[in-house]
Amino acid sequence: MAHIPVLVQEVMRFLEGAGVRLLVDATVGGGGHARAFLESFPEARVVGTDRDSGILETARRALAPFADRATLHHAAFSELEATLGGADEAAPDAFLFDLGVNSMQLDEAARGFSFREDGPLDMRMDRTRGRTAAELLRHIPEADLGNLLFDLGGERSARRVAAALVAERRRARIETTLQLASIVRRAVRGRSRIDAATRTFQALRMAVNDEGNELGAGLATAARRVRPGGRILVLSFHSGEDRIVKNFFRSEPSLAPLTKRPLPCTPEEARRNPRARSAKLRVAERRREDA
């Protein structure tokens, strides 16, 4: 399934309000938001980054018609400062972060993000470096695993799931997505409207990719680099991500939040694109007195 960008109209409205001529799309993904921006603002440019080199190639194809108005780089949030320095982009007008896992990543079983089809338990956004989820599960102590599942996934049965995973790995390595999902479902009691494995998969993905620290580094770079009067827009998909963004916007003296509460998608968009249902948009503006 092709990735469908979420809250596009809302994003464009906030960018238009800031007179954006240079947008840093820090999770360019398949190029959906960047394409909409370049079509809406014919004189503007995009610097796009993504830590997933495979998806970055999809963005290159999608944005090829815009030629040198779109410049793309393989980089994580923590590498934004160096990337922008190398691109000689002094003060962008806006930064856009689209957090979480991309639809194209979810739909490729070999990536290990989804439990809908069997695949290797990888979960790395950047497959050129770092440990896989299988490697993490092989060595993490039970107490640390329980904390990880609770803190990053909000899993209320975190201790029970951690104990079940450690007991299973004593018998055999946990190497595939369906194997992991099956263990978690047996350990979680009660019924829920979401699959019992969802929170565990979320927590492991965030841990494998160090998403909390990466997001903090990216937001800090954006706050330093965006011009006075410029804006930082963040699309998040679960409460943990949104909490990091909310706290950063409130605690960073140079920023003034423009959204008191995160903006959700409309009911119409949720019907068209079910993966947009959990999307939330927060926006902050760099104070002009910082000029």
- The answer on pLDDT for 267 being more than 60 is yes
Q: What is the mean pLDDT of residues 279-291?
A: 87
Q: What is the mean pLDDT of residues 51-64?
A: 93
Q: What is the mean pLDDT of residues 49-56?
A: 93
- Same domain (yes/no): 228, 286: yes
* pLDDT tens by residue, 181-190: 999 999 997 7
The DSSP string of 133-185 is HHHHHHH--HHHHHHHHHHHH--TTHHHHHHHHHHHHHHS---BHHHHHHHHH
In a domain, residue 117? The reply is: no
The predicted structure's pLDDT at residue 91: 87
- Same domain (yes/no): 23, 151: no
Beta carbons within 10 angstroms of residue 243's beta carbon: 12
Instruction: Say how far apart CA 53 and CA 64 lie, in whole Å.
Output: 16
Final residue in a domain of this structure, among 176, 208, 240: 208
- The answer on pLDDT for 40 being more than 90 is yes
Q: What is the mean pLDDT of residues 153-182?
A: 97
- Same domain (yes/no): 38, 56: yes
Q: What is the mean pLDDT of residues 121-140?
A: 96
Most confident of the ranges 87-91, 97-101, 170-174, 286-290: 170-174
In a domain, residue 111? The reply is: no
Final residue in a domain of this structure, among 208, 236, 264: 208
What angle (nearest 5°) sits at the alpha carbon of residue 242, between those of residues 108 and 126?
35
- Same domain (yes/no): 76, 218: yes
In a domain, residue 184? The reply is: yes
For residue 202 the two structure tokens come to 């979320």
For residue 135 the two structure tokens come to 């490697």
The predicted structure's pLDDT at residue 133: 98
3-state secondary structure at position 235: strand
In a domain, residue 134? The reply is: yes
- Same domain (yes/no): 166, 83: no
* pLDDT band (50, 70, 90) for residue 69: very high
Q: Total domain count for the chain?
A: 2
- Same domain (yes/no): 154, 77: no
The predicted structure's pLDDT at residue 102: 83
Q: What is the mean pLDDT of residues 222-246?
A: 95
Sequence-ordered alpha helix ranges (H) in the chain: 8-17, 32-40, 53-63, 80-86, 103-107, 133-139, 142-153, 158-171, 177-187, 198-208, 211-225, 239-251, 267-272
- Same domain (yes/no): 195, 217: no
- Same domain (yes/no): 164, 86: no
- The answer on pLDDT for 192 being more than 80 is no
* pLDDT band (50, 70, 90) for residue 6: very high
In terms of Cα–Cα distance, which of 119, 116, 118, 80 is closest to 96? 80
CATH, residue 14? 3.40.50.150
In whole numbers, what is the pLDDT of the chain averaged over residues?
93
Final residue in a domain of this structure, among 157, 190, 208: 208
**Residue type at position 107:** D
In a domain, residue 177? The reply is: yes
Range of the domain at 74: 8-104+210-290
- Same domain (yes/no): 187, 228: no
In a domain, residue 114? The reply is: no
- Same domain (yes/no): 16, 91: yes
The predicted structure's pLDDT at residue 121: 98
Task: State what percent of residues in the chain have pLDDT above 70.
Answer: 97
- The answer on pLDDT for 171 being more than 90 is yes
The predicted structure's pLDDT at residue 88: 54
- The answer on pLDDT for 87 being more than 60 is no
Instruction: Say how far apart CA 68 and CA 64 lie, in whole Å.
Output: 9
In a domain, residue 63? The reply is: yes
- Same domain (yes/no): 26, 83: yes
In a domain, residue 224? The reply is: yes
- The answer on pLDDT for 17 being more than 90 is no
- Same domain (yes/no): 97, 16: yes
* pLDDT tens by residue, 98-117: 998 888 888 899 999 999 99
Cα distances (Å, whole numbers) of residue 135 to 130, 139, 146, 151, 207: 10, 7, 16, 20, 12
The predicted structure's pLDDT at residue 4: 82
CATH, residue 171? 1.10.150.170
